[in-house]
Structure 1
Amino acid sequence: MARAASGLAAVVRDELATLDVPPMAASVVLLVGPGNNGGDALYAGAELAASGCGVAIIELGSRTHAEGLAAALDAGARVVAPGTDVVAAAVRAATGADVVVDGILGTGAYRSPALRGDARAVVEALRGIVLSPRKRVVAVDLPSGIDPDTGDVRDDAVLSADVTVTFGAYKAGLLLRPAAGYAGRVVLVDLGLGPELESVEPLVRVVD
């Protein structure tokens, strides 16, 4: 997770650089779900906060990765308006943000990838806001709401990413339509899984 989070933080810094926003002036919003994607986002947020970025956390799950949350808070990140209207809080935070990090759902939600409840409501509310050319959306492993294996998008409540930072190996769903249209540029962070993957038959082969 540390390697994944470091790779994610590096991509967020790259996106801030394309916006010509220095770290000390940057605002990053983390949309955090209950799984490891949320943990990756939180640890990346800790690294970003430690470098001077303003980092706001919006919790969108029944639980939050405890160690990642503690690391982010220790580094200076803050949880946005716990116990209040999460949609309104997310809109306020995202309106002033340079980068929104989608760490809501990951590959573990493949049986039912569509967003629900507060997570769906927040994504629906932010879809128009993040279209600004002065903002970037960075997805953690894959845009939340897409099927990681088939590329299906069963509900259009998905934040289109400018960049998807995926870990270990490319997920088939990032290469297949319609989900590929939500992924933006895909950056692979090597987690050293090469030997294990050599014996795995890929779901998709890319032909030049």
Structure 2
Amino acid sequence: MIDAWTAAQIRQAERPHLEAGEPLMQRAADGLAGVVREVLHASRARRGVRAARVLLLVGSGNNGADALYAGESLARELVPSGGVVTVVPVGTRMHEEALAAALGAGAVLGDVPSWSDQAVVSELLPGYDVVLDGLVGTGSDGPGLRGDALRVVTAMLGAGTGTGAGAGIGTRSSDSPVVVAVDVPSGIGVDDGAVPDPLVVLAADVTVTFGGCKVGLLVAPASRLAGRLVLVDIGIGPDLSRLRPALSAP
């Protein structure tokens, strides 16, 4: 059985650790970067030995910061050997320290209008090995995408590259990047598995979730968009074990 918790329960379990100054975000980012490295290793076997390229879709919340700190780690490894880590900032604000860390390590900023243009995305996206979806997460006030996040995801899905194992757009081919969701795929209901707009969800091949599994990752229809689930331990397991899971699923 897999136990799952609501977003509120996860925040409750995190609270004492955050108040104690524990680096939960860095632990999450380190675990995320490790999974991306594994994906890149498999991708090189599938797509050849050219330098790796990673695209970060970064929103305003903690998931965006997790993606940026993971991008910092990846950029330090990839950029010196000719790799690329591109940050597409789609939120109304950014985690300034995380953004500075990623750019300081060699990541570059992408142009949001270009990544919102379906024709441009059709040309750019096949050049990437991995897309990190750090658009929205458990702190969002609603599951649907809005603003630049909506425009960028719409352009990606409309480009017909087969992005995401469950996207239902195009046909998965050797030039399709692997989509890694940061904590949860953006656009799903974290607590109920709802997908209010299934045509505008960037379906994941892999979802890297932190601390504990979220209910929406195990409940259809959202569960069909999460891909393979990887749980990263950030140190809140004992706290969650004292709470009754919101869901237990086989």
Tell me which interval the TM-score lies in, with the shorter structure as reference length. Answer: over 0.9
Q: Is the 8 A contact 1:147 1:173 kept in 2?
A: yes
Residue deviations 1:161-207 (CA, integer Å, cap 9, x gap): 00000000000100000000000000000011122112211111123
Return the match for 1:2 from 26, 34, 40: 26
Aligned equivalent of 1:106, options 125, 129, 137: 137
The Cα shift of 1:93 comes to 3.8
Q: Does 1:62 align with 2:104?
A: no
- Does residue 1:155 correspond to 2:197, yes or no? yes
TM-score of the pair, normalised by structure 1: 0.92
1:43: Cα distance to partner? Answer: 0.4
TM value normalised by structure 2: 0.77
Cα gap change, 1:133/1:44 in structure 2, threshold over 3 Å: closer, same or farther? same
**Match status 1:20 vs 2:51:** no
Runs (4+) of structure 1 exceeding 4 A deviation are 21-24
Q: Deviations over 1:33-68 (max 9, x none)?
A: 000000000000000000014100001110011111
Distance 2:64 2:44 in 1: 27
Q: Matched residue of 1:205: which SS?
A: strand
- Count, aligned residues: 205
Q: Which protein has greater RCO, CA pairs closer than 8 Å, 6+ apart?
A: 2
Which ranges in structure 1 are unaligned for 5 or more consecutive residues? none
The residue type equivalent to 2:59 in the other structure is G
Alignment of 1:1-208 (within 5 A): 1-20=25-44, 25-52=51-78, 53-81=83-111, 84-88=113-117, 91=121, 92-109=123-140, 111-127=141-157, 128-129=160-161, 130=163, 131-134=172-175, 135-156=177-198, 157-207=200-250
What's the secondary structure of 1:48's corresponding residue? helix
1:29–1:93 contact (8 Å) kept in structure 2: no
Further displaced range: 162-171 or 113-122 = 113-122
Supply the RMSD in Å over aligned alpha carbons.
1.9
Unmatched 5+ residue regions in structure 2?
A: 1-24, 164-171
Cα shift at 1:95 = 3.0
Q: Percent identity over the alignment? A: 51
1:58 & 1:145 partners in 2: Cα distance?
Answer: 17
Greater shift in the superposed pair: 19-28 or 34-43 = 19-28
* Distance in 2 of aligned mates of 1:205 and 1:116: 31
